Amino acid sequence: GKHLQRDLDHIKKELLAIGVMVEIALNNAIESLVKRYPKLTEEVKNGDSQIDQKENQIEEECLKVLALHHPVATDLRFIISVLKVNNDLERMGDLAANIAERSIYLATHEPLRTVLNFNRMVDGVREMVRKSLDALIRTDTNLARLVLTMDDEIDALNREMYTKLQNIMREDPESVDRAVHTLSVSRYLERIADFSTNIAEDVVFMVDGDLIRHQVEKLDSRHYSNRSFLLWRCNSTTRHRGLLED
């Protein structure tokens, strides 16, 4: 009814708000890293605590809707997707904070003497985040499926970064600490790309009801088990009633 629609519209606005917060955090973290400007780190940290609060608020509102309105079909898929996207966005905020932390060390030490493909990786991750959020806002499954095709390049750039940094560490033992921090940043960017892929998958589920699996699961086991449990719980409680079908 009207009350359900009003609550769903409000949740969508809140989800878009946390998406904007995460995008700002990521941009600040990248700026801090690329321009060697650690003062931005404080902004990222403050933004991260606000993202955490917003995540809790959205989760509570979703659970309230489930309890009060017992949504079915498209509305149920929307709530399930919001719960998962909300969690992914919060994790992306954490990773942006991690990048900002590493940038403090890197900004106060000499740059590594090698050519790294950081700008290409940064641009690719930014584009994935932007497109996954656009797909979410517009419920655009074509755009979401495009995001799914972009993840391989980020994985390849992360592997390339690992190989180059490994060689640097072998050749110059004094560079080890800087190389390790740089490698961590590369890994954080790769994981942000993974979470963007998750969001794209959730958009496809929300709109079409299709569950898309990674061919090779790259997320840490805790996150994977959380997502699997949520899908299992949803499917097991609704399959026999056909609630996930329009």
pLDDT 10s digits, 132-167: 999 988 999 999 999 999 999 999 999 999 999 999
Q: So what's the pLDDT on residue 210?
A: 83
Q: Can you read off the two tokens belonging to residue 169?
A: 């560490």
Q: So what's the pLDDT on residue 76?
A: 93
Q: Cα angle at 117 between 111 and 123, to 5 degrees?
A: 110
Q: What global pTM score does this model have? A: 0.83
pLDDT for residue 201 is more than 90: yes
Q: 213 falls in which pLDDT band (50, 70, 90)?
A: low
How far, in Å, CA of 29 to CA of 140, rounded? 28
pLDDT 10s digits, 15-59: 999 999 999 999 999 999 888 887 888 889 888 999 999 999 999
Q: Can you read off the two tokens belonging to residue 223?
A: 């996150």
Q: 243 falls in which pLDDT band (50, 70, 90)?
A: very low
Q: Is 110 helix (H, G, I), strand (E, B) or coil?
A: coil
Contact assessment for residue 154 and residue 121, using Cβ atoms and an 8 Å cutoff? yes
Q: Can you read off the two tokens belonging to residue 69?
A: 């309105």
Q: 170 falls in which pLDDT band (50, 70, 90)?
A: very high
How far, in Å, CA of 40 to CA of 29, rounded? 7
Helical H runs in the chain?
2-34, 40-69, 73-107, 118-138, 141-171, 176-208, 221-238
